[in-house]
Amino acid sequence: MTVALDHGPDSVLGDRILRVAILAVGGQGGGVLTNWVVDVAERNGYRAQSTSVAGVAQRTGATIYYVEMCPDRGRQPVFSLSPSPGDVDVMIAAELMEAGRAIIRGFVTPNRTTLIASSHRIAAVSEKIAPGDGRASSHEVEIAAQKAAKTFIGFDMEKMAVEAGSVISSSLFGALAGAGVLPFPRESFEATIRESGRGVEASLRAFALACDEAARRQGGDKMGAPQPPRVEHASAAPLPLGGQPESEDSRTDGPAATRAGEPVGDERLLAQWRELDRRIAALPEVVREMAEPGLRKVVDYQDPAYGAEYLDRLDEALTKDDAAHGFVLSHTAAKYLANAFCYDDVIRVADLKTRSSRSARLRREIGVRDDDVLKVTEYFHPRIEEICGAMPARLGRWIEARPGLATWLDKRVNKGRHIRTDGVFGFGMLWVIGGMRRWRRSLLRHAVEAEHIDRWYRLALGTVARDYDLAVEILKCRRLIKGYSDTHARGLSKFDRVLSALPLLEAQDDAAGWLRRLREAALKDEQGTMLDGALQTVASFAGPSFTGPTQPPEGTAGSAPAA
C-alpha cells in the first residue's frame, strides 16, 4: 500500500513529505546524525520533525531515529512520529545487521527506499559468546539489501570515519549527501557540520570521503571495486581516542597471505632452516600452502629440530595421500599438526609476552608517545597442573600421583598473579620461564601432549584406507581443543565426546558428514548441550543395540594447561 497521494487540492503539487529513518546501535551517535538531518532540511527551506525512541534502548541496543520533512509553505504539515513499513524514502543503517533489521521490519522497499548502510559489523553478544565462530553472515544481508532496496549504497563508513579521525555520524551524513536523495546541495550539508562546532575539520574529512564514495556508487558503480576478504591488520597509526567501536571483519576464507621470506638468525640455525625449506619445496603445492605457515609456526615455537619432527609426521600423511584426493588429508594434517605441536603452555605464553616485537606492537596499538611511559600488567593464574607440566616428566608425574601433596602445593601457587612486564623484575621472571624452551621436550606437559597427538594422528591415518573423508574430519576435530585450564579441559572433553561416536559412525554411509556435524554442534555452546543432542541423534540411528555414547577410545584427559 504505497500509493502516495500526499497533496490535496490546495497544496503545491509535488510537495511530498520525505521520510528518513536511521537505525543504529546505542552509543553510535544516531542522535547527532538526526539533528544534522533536521538542520540541513531547515537550512534549505524545509520544515522537519524528528523523533527517537530513547530510554534504555540506548544502552548498546538497537535504536531508531526518524525524520520527516517537506518544503516550508508557511503552514505546519502533519508529520508522523514513526516510520511505517513500505513508507520510507531513505533508510540509514549505521551497522550492517541493523540494515538487515530494517529490511526485516519492512522499512526497505524496492519502489522507493534508498538504503545507505555502513558495511562494518559490531558483533552482538550472541555472536561473540559461541565457542566457535558465531558471527552472522554479512553476505546474506548484503544480497538481501540489493534485492530489497531501490538503491543500496553500502561501504565501510566506520573505517572511513576513523581514518579521518572522526566518528560514523560524519561519514553517514556524507553518504546521505552523496546519494543525492535529499534535494539539498552538498555545501548546505557541510555548513551544517561546520555550525555543529565540535571536531569540525575531522568531520568534514570523513563527510567528504563518504560523500564522494556514495556519489560514485550512485553513478552506476553500485557494487564498487571487487574487494578481497577483509582481514584486520594492526594499524600503524594510533586510533583517535573516543572514537566508535572499530569495524568487525568478515570471515576470511581467502588464500594465505604470502609471508616474508627467510627468518633472521645465526648461520647454524639458518642452515637447518634451509634444509627444512627444501623439504617444504618438494611438497605438492596444496600441501605446501599450509605446511609453510605451519612449519614457521612450529619452528618459531620451538626450534628447527621440532620443525623437522613436524615435517616427518606430515610425511606420514602424504604417503597415504594422493593427487586424486587433492591432497586434502595432507593439507588438513599440515594445519592441525602445526596447531597441535604448538600447544599453549606456560613457556609459550612467557615467550610471546617477552619478545621485542610484542613490546613494539603494544606501544603502537595503545598509541604511546615517545615521552610517555607505558606500564603493562599481565594477568596470570597458575595452578599446580601448570607447575607440574613445567617440571621434568618424572618429577611432575611423581607429584601428580600424590593428590595430598598436589593439593598442598596447589594451595601455595593457585592464585591470581599480576605481573608488571614493563619492569625488570616482572619481565625477567617471564624471560626466564620463556627460556625454559630449550628443555621443553623433556617436561611433563610435552610428554602428555606428544602422546595425545600421536594417538589422534594414528587414529586419523589408520582410518584413511577405510574412509578417506572420515580421516580428514578426524584431523579437523583438533579444532575443538583450545583455551587454557577449565576451557581447555572442556575442549578436550568435547574432542573425546565427538570422537566417541566413531564406532557408531563407521557403519554409516556419510560418516564424515556426521562427524563434521558433531564437531560443529560442539562449537555452538560452552557446555556442549548441542553436542549432546547431536550425539543422541547419532545414537538413535545406530540401532537399539546401542546403549549410549561410548567412552573415548582411551582416556585422553591430559593435564589442562593454564599459565
Interface of this chain with other proteins, residues 11 to 40, rule: CB under 8 A: 11, 15-17, 25-27, 38
Interface with other proteins, residue 266, by CB under 8 A:
yes
> Dihedrals φ, ψ of 251, to 5°?
-65, 145
Q: In this chain, which stretch among 183-191, 220-228, 266-274, 442-450 interacts with other proteins, using CB under 8 A? A: 266-274
Give the gyration radius of the chain's Cα atoms. 30
One residue of 277, 289, 316, 410 binding other proteins per CB under 8 A:
289
Q: In this chain, which stretch among 215-223, 357-365, 461-469, 541-549 interacts with other proteins, using CB under 8 A? A: 357-365
For residue 419, what are the β-bridge partners? 378
Residue 312's contacts (CB-CB under 8 Å, 6 or more residues apart) are none
**Angstrom distance (rounded) from CA 557 to CA 550:** 15
Rank residues 359 and 508 by Cβ distance to other proteins and give the closer one.
359
Interface with other proteins, residue 413, by CB under 8 A:
no
Map 447-465 to HEC letters. Answer: HHHHHHHHHHHHHHHHHHC
Q: In this chain, which stretch among 56-64, 189-197, 211-219, 508-516 interacts with other proteins, using CB under 8 A? A: 56-64
Interface with other proteins, residue 57, by CB under 8 A:
yes
Q: In this chain, which stretch among 209-217, 316-324, 421-429, 496-504 interacts with other proteins, using CB under 8 A? A: 421-429
CB of 546 to other proteins, least distance (A): 31
Residue carrying the nine cell digits 580421516: 471
**Angstrom distance (rounded) from CA 203 to CA 188:** 14
CB of 543 to other proteins, least distance (A): 33
CB of 558 to other proteins, least distance (A): 15
Question: For residue 10, what is the DSSP state?
Answer: T
One residue of 197, 225, 259, 267 binding other proteins per CB under 8 A:
259
Host H or E run for residue 208: helix 200-218
Pairing of strands 90-93, 417-420: unpaired
Interface with other proteins, residue 339, by CB under 8 A:
yes
One residue of 395, 424, 507, 557 binding other proteins per CB under 8 A:
424
CB of 462 to other proteins, least distance (A): 24
CB of 477 to other proteins, least distance (A): 11
Return the residues of window 128-147 that contact other proteins according to CB under 8 A. 128-133, 135-137, 140-141, 144, 147
**Angstrom distance (rounded) from CA 223 to CA 242:** 31
**x/- letters, 71..110, toward other proteins (CB under 8 A):** ----xxxxxxxxxxxxx---------xx-xx-xx-x--xx
Q: In this chain, which stretch among 43-51, 172-180, 389-397, 537-545 interacts with other proteins, using CB under 8 A? A: 43-51
- Residue pair 70/77 in contact (Cβ under 8 Å)? The answer is yes
Neighbours of 270 (CB within 10 A): 15
Angle at 136 between CA 496 and CA 518, to 5 degrees: 20
Q: In this chain, which stretch among 183-191, 350-358, 399-407, 504-512 interacts with other proteins, using CB under 8 A? A: 350-358
- Kindly state the number of chain residues that form the binding site for other proteins, as judged by CB under 8 A: 172
Interface with other proteins, residue 119, by CB under 8 A:
no
Interface with other proteins, residue 160, by CB under 8 A:
no
One residue of 152, 273, 310, 456 binding other proteins per CB under 8 A:
273
Rank residues 117 and 214 by Cβ distance to other proteins and give the closer one.
117
- Residue pair 152/113 in contact (Cβ under 8 Å)? The answer is no
Interface with other proteins, residue 196, by CB under 8 A:
no
CB of 115 to other proteins, least distance (A): 12
CB of 527 to other proteins, least distance (A): 10
For residue 66, what are the β-bridge partners? 21, 51
Interface with other proteins, residue 274, by CB under 8 A:
no
Interface with other proteins, residue 223, by CB under 8 A:
no
Interface with other proteins, residue 487, by CB under 8 A:
yes
Rank residues 245 and 513 by Cβ distance to other proteins and give the closer one.
245
Residue 199's contacts (CB-CB under 8 Å, 6 or more residues apart) are 165, 166, 167
In single-letter form, the type of residue at position 25 comes to V
One residue of 29, 43, 52, 308 binding other proteins per CB under 8 A:
52
Host H or E run for residue 155: strand 151-155
Positive or negative: CA dihedral 226, 228, 231, 235: negative
Interface with other proteins, residue 436, by CB under 8 A:
no
DSSP calls for 410-423? HHHH-S-EEEETTS
Return the residues of window 530-559 that contact other proteins according to CB under 8 A. none
Interface with other proteins, residue 510, by CB under 8 A:
no
Return the residues of window 299-338 that contact other proteins according to CB under 8 A. 299-300, 303-304, 335, 338
Interface with other proteins, residue 123, by CB under 8 A:
yes
CB of 455 to other proteins, least distance (A): 21
For residue 114, what are the β-bridge partners? 90, 151
Interface with other proteins, residue 449, by CB under 8 A:
no
Angle at 82 between CA 80 and CA 88, to 5 degrees: 90
Q: In this chain, which stretch among 217-225, 240-248, 466-474, 495-503 interacts with other proteins, using CB under 8 A? A: 240-248
Closest of 163, 43, 20 to residue 102, by C-alpha: 20
- Residue pair 46/77 in contact (Cβ under 8 Å)? The answer is no
Cα distances from 316 to residues 294, 306, 312, 454, in angstroms, run 16, 16, 7, 12
One residue of 32, 40, 44, 50 binding other proteins per CB under 8 A:
50
**Angstrom distance (rounded) from CA 170 to CA 173:** 5
**Angstrom distance (rounded) from CA 166 to CA 33:** 13
Return the residues of window 369-398 that contact other proteins according to CB under 8 A. 371-381, 383
Buried b (16+ CB within 10 A) or exposed e, 524-534: bbeebeebeeb
